A = this chain, B = another copy of it.
Amino acid sequence: MIDGPLEILVKQLASLPGLGNRSAKRIALHMLSNKDALMLPLAKNINYVSETIQSCHSCGNFDEGEICRICRDTNRDRSTICVVAGVADLWAIERTKTYKGIYHILGGVLSALDGIGPQDLSIHSLVENVRDNQIQEVILALSATVDGQSTAHYIMDQLDEFEVKITRLAHGVPVGGELDYLDDGTISTALKARGNL
């Protein structure tokens, strides 16, 4: 059977992260049953987002215009840079509404297994930024995985020659987390880093 546009749509949807053939079919049928309310506005907006949203020249965040709204915001502290692996992590930190500095997106983490070396990440521009712009603090907000932590150490080495404070996110018991379900590493880290009540 030759593939019609509907079969192609199902294949396109199935190629999206987290979706498979079955969920793609379900979504395609759902769209077809809601053409005016969902399907046409979605197609229009995907096009519009594709045209208007671009990678911020300064931090790498996705937003309208060459410089994202975070980098444009004059109320934010330009002397503090939070280094994250990707835009999803930036969004996660922004959601907390507790951080007032700016960001730097690496575009991933170092990974020997996946063949991702320092030249594949935007580490060089971070070093330039720290050197040229009187940055006071670099927060390495990277995942607490082996790859995340080796990336953090690599960046620390690169920034060694500059007088800049380098910090990382605190490790400990997640808020709302039950001790019983936590791994031993987290518990022992939280115990060592215990603080006064």
Q: Is the interface of A mostly helix, strand, loop or mixed?
A: helix
**Residues in B neighbouring A50, C-beta threshold 8 A:** 31-32, 35, 39-40, 43
Q: With A and B bound together, what is the CA distance between A169 and B87 in angstroms?
A: 50
- B9 A49 Cβ-Cβ under 8 A: yes
Chain B residues, CB < 8 A from A189: none
Count of this chain's copies in the oligomeric assembly: 2
Contact residues, A14-43 vs B (CB, 8 A) = 15-19, 23, 25-32, 35, 38-43
- Distance between A64 CB and nearest chain B CB, rounded to angstroms: 6
The reply to whether A30 and B5 contact each other, CB–CB distance below 8 Å, is no
A63 an interface residue at 8 Å Cβ cutoff? Answer: yes
In angstroms, Cα B13 to Cα A42, docked, is: 8
Partner of A9 from the list B27, B28, B46 (CB cut-off 8 Å) is B46
Report which A residues bind B (CB closer than 8 A). 4-6, 8-9, 12-13, 15-19, 23, 25-32, 35, 38-50, 52-53, 62-64, 86-88, 91
